[in-house]
Structure 1
Amino acid sequence: MTHANSDGRDRLSRWRLVLGGHGADGITTAEGQRVVLSAADHLRDRALEDLYEAPRKGPGGLGASSPRVARWLGDIRGYFPSTVVQVMQADAMDRLGLRQLLLEPEMLRTVQPDIGLVTTLVGLGRVIPEHSRETARAVVRQVTSQLEDRLRSKTIQAVSGALNRAARTRRPRHQDIDWNRTIAANLKHYQPEYRTVVPERLVGYARRSTEVQREIILCIDQSGSMAESVVYSSVFGAVLSSLRSVRTRLVVFDTEVVDLSDELDDPVDVLFGVQLGGGTDINRALAYCQEQITDPTETILVLISDLYEGGIAEEMLRRAAAIVGSGATMIALLALSDSGHPTFDSNHAAALAGIGVPAFACTPDLFPEMMAAAIERRDVGEWAATHDIVTNHED
């Protein structure tokens, strides 16, 4: 009975924390006893009150005191589990105007790093004061390193395997013949009287693995809505650039185009080289990427954008059609993120699909498989359909 009463009080205490103070102070047990918060729950209640009962982006609550904000962020990490902390941090960005307070290095050291915080810092990028910049970079590096650890092996395995399969040829030079696969492919031609296989089809590798076999261009829209996609793209760019058999370019754009390919070995340098927000000129970005294509049949161009074109839409579509017509593989990712259904221009997505550019959103965990399908020259649109990630053409 004591245990049951304890469980009941715990549930009421949680309701008391959810509902907040004032009227919620009147919550009572079945016996009519008023619910009194423990010392630890009182601290949690105060932290929640500071966030959710403070005026939005104004005085009160945490106020504009950076040291107090730093203490609050440090406190909630001790009061709540990690998943709750991340939700509260995200809410605090808007409710308390923390985007400005995040410019202070002493507060950055107290924040629990996650991809949401990284996108905030990337958005602030060029306005972060010099004395805060190294702290901000350290926070971003911690998150990108974790993402790279999570995604590297799967990406390398998928891409390398696809390159090996795609490099096989039916007319290999003698020294490039893969005899095991050749025999397996020709067992039906076994000649019992000669006790041998007469191969009708030779299987081999046309190139050495150290040679560049594919050109990959990641063309990334750096408008504010694409922030999470920019973070993941920088990580994948770093992983792909480490493969000698792939030449990777990373291009970011708004109304201007910036080639960050020389920074690819460090995702942090890439992220602090972008400027989130501003207009969008996809046509201009595709024009630049088109100029970089030297061998169309070996090139994969991945446009990562919500397709809200601020430039000349008709010209954008004509240029995309020309890229596909040249023999290059082009894919439009409406988002590369773990987030929900993306917002995008459905008319442009449908128009691109109509000229052979599949348009859909993709999670980071599926991105390696998508690249493998593109490398093997499989139908990427069909691949997306089999993985139930075809995006409905709706805004």
Structure 2
Amino acid sequence: MIDEAERLRRWRLLVGGDDTADTTDTVSLSGDDERIDAAMAAVYDSHGPGESDRPRSAGLGASAPRVVGWLGDIRSYFPSPVVQVMQRDAVERLHLHQLLLEPELLDAVEPDVNLVATLISMSRLLPERSRATARSVVSKVVEQIERRIADRTRSAVHGALNRSARTRRPRRHTDIDWPRTISANLKNWLPEYRTVVPERLVGYGRRQNLVQRSVVVAIDQSGSMAESVVYAAIFGAVMASLRALRTSLVVFDTTVVDLTDQLHDPVELLFGTHLGGGTDINAAVAYCQDLITSPADSVFVLISDLYEGGIAGELLRRVNAMKLAGVQVIVLLALSDSGAPSYDRGHAAALEAIGVPAFACTPDAFPDLLACAIERGDIAAWAHRFRAAAGS
């Protein structure tokens, strides 16, 4: 049981020391509690920084040393996920973007996807003294995400390729997949002979050492897609490491840039993007169409909020033409851990009408989605199951 004094202490830390609640007037803080209160007040003071007569109006000011001290405090008193949220809120609420150009501040922050997105959006503004530190921060996050997704992505892709390469007419005895053959013929069990009659053979395909699928990923560089750009770049690098896939990665705003030759280095790739600006999705899709030479063996992933600055009607015709040619088309409104994205609902509905579902996907679910596409599964059904599981 939490006693009354502890309950009031927690409530005091939650609402602050102003006059929002009379019950907190008699609660005094000391030691660590004062520092916790000051750390939260610096960001979440409802009166805004600069009104120093208010108890919760500390702010962070335009001082890198002060921000570094604040970062040290929040890392001492809060777990890493909370630290990342508070950092993001501080940058957004207190407009600390300029301070992120300071090397000592970058050394002190807790690296996360949102910080990487902020840094790559500011990459052209980074002074020389901050570039090495910024790359180090981005590299740490890339390594963290690769550890999270790489093995699962490789396993999902290899499994999907093996399943899609099955044949019912294996030419050699060594090509027969006996466990799957037995499973497929259990109805033909003859108890008197204690054997299964294999009416249908299931064999391994013999293309494992060849490129079996082409995957083309097109990423919208508009500012709202920053987190998706980070994840897509890392997934692209992981897929590019698989010999059975031919992976192309294209980023676009009003221009289209092919970054396929940088997939070996996702950090360099991220610094090659330029977040913000307008959007011409139609031009990007047109470019990607030219990259696809074998539609039946190709997967096209468009990651965009669908706010089109180009020719919307032509965009739909191109996507429909790709689908009719046999390309597995996936449209992701976001590839991130964040909540429901903002997107053009009219264009999303138009895509749904031609049989191309548009939905947001988490990074942890993307390997299974990719496997479904490689096996030429029902993407719409997969999206429906994913939405249901996510409760959306």
Query: When the two structures are superposed, what TM-score results if normalisation uses the length of structure 2?
Result: 0.89
Q: What amino acid sits opposite 1:229 in the alignment?
A: S
**Aligned residues of 2:335 and 2:362 also touching (Cα < 8 A):** yes
- Out of 34, 39, 49, the position equivalent to 2:41 is 49
- Out of 14, 18, 24, the position equivalent to 2:14 is 18
Q: Residue 87 of structure 1 aligns with which residue?
A: 85
1:51 to 1:390, Cα distance in 2 relative to 1, 3 A: closer
Q: Residue 67 of structure 1 aligns with which residue?
A: 65
Instruction: Quote the Cα distance in structure 2 between the aligned partners of 1:164 and 1:171.
Output: 15
Tell me which moved more, 134-143 or 275-284. Answer: 134-143
The DSSP-based 3-state class of the residue aligned with 1:23 is: coil
Task: String of CA shifts for 1:346-388, please: whole Å, max 9, x gaps.
Answer: 1111211222322111111111111111111111101111233
Instruction: Quote the Cα distance in structure 1 between the aligned partners of 2:100 and 2:353.
Output: 44
The DSSP-based 3-state class of the residue aligned with 2:230 is: helix
- Out of 128, 145, 148, the position equivalent to 1:150 is 148
Q: Residue 116 of structure 1 aligns with which residue?
A: 114
Shift of 1:70: 1.7
Instruction: Quote the Cα distance in structure 1 between the aligned partners of 2:173 and 2:219.
Output: 41
Q: Residue 356 of structure 2 aligns with which residue?
A: 357
1:168 to 1:56, Cα distance in 2 relative to 1, 3 A: farther
1:64 to 1:187, Cα distance in 2 relative to 1, 3 A: closer
Q: Residue 124 of structure 2 aligns with which residue?
A: 126
1:183 to 1:20, Cα distance in 2 relative to 1, 3 A: closer
Q: Residue 322 of structure 1 aligns with which residue?
A: 321
Shift of 1:8: 2.5
Instruction: Quote the Cα distance in structure 2 between the aligned partners of 1:24 and 1:194.
Output: 83
**Aligned residues of 1:115 and 1:228 also touching (Cα < 8 A):** yes
Q: Residue 238 of structure 1 aligns with which residue?
A: 237
Task: Structure 2: give runs of 5+ residues left out of the alignment.
Answer: 53-57
Q: Residue 260 of structure 1 aligns with which residue?
A: 259
1:147 to 1:326, Cα distance in 2 relative to 1, 3 A: same
Instruction: Quote the Cα distance in structure 1 between the aligned partners of 2:356 and 2:295.
Output: 15
Instruction: Quote the Cα distance in structure 2 between the aligned partners of 1:291 and 1:284.
Output: 11
Task: String of CA shifts for 1:276-299, please: whole Å, max 9, x gaps.
Answer: 111010100001100000111000
**Aligned residues of 2:49 and 2:60 also touching (Cα < 8 A):** no
Q: Residue 38 of structure 1 aligns with which residue?
A: 30
Q: Residue 213 of structure 2 aligns with which residue?
A: 214
Q: Residue 76 of structure 1 aligns with which residue?
A: 74
The DSSP-based 3-state class of the residue aligned with 1:169 is: coil
Shift of 1:271: 1.2
Instruction: Quote the Cα distance in structure 1 between the aligned partners of 2:101 and 2:122.
Output: 8
1:257 to 1:102, Cα distance in 2 relative to 1, 3 A: same
1:251 to 1:287, Cα distance in 2 relative to 1, 3 A: same
Query: When the two structures are superposed, what TM-score results if normalisation uses the length of structure 1?
Result: 0.89
1:28 to 1:177, Cα distance in 2 relative to 1, 3 A: closer
1:182 to 1:124, Cα distance in 2 relative to 1, 3 A: same
Tell me which moved more, 118-127 or 303-312. Answer: 118-127
The DSSP-based 3-state class of the residue aligned with 2:122 is: helix
1:81 to 1:277, Cα distance in 2 relative to 1, 3 A: same
Shift of 1:62: 2.1
Shift of 1:187: 5.8
1:350 to 1:25, Cα distance in 2 relative to 1, 3 A: closer
Tell me which moved more, 53-62 or 237-246. Answer: 53-62
The DSSP-based 3-state class of the residue aligned with 1:300 is: strand
Instruction: Quote the Cα distance in structure 1 between the aligned partners of 2:40 and 2:82.
Output: 11
Q: Residue 347 of structure 2 aligns with which residue?
A: 348
Instruction: Quote the Cα distance in structure 1 between the aligned partners of 2:177 and 2:30.
Output: 74
Q: Residue 55 of structure 2 aligns with which residue?
A: none
Identity of matched residues, %? 59
Shift of 1:184: 4.7
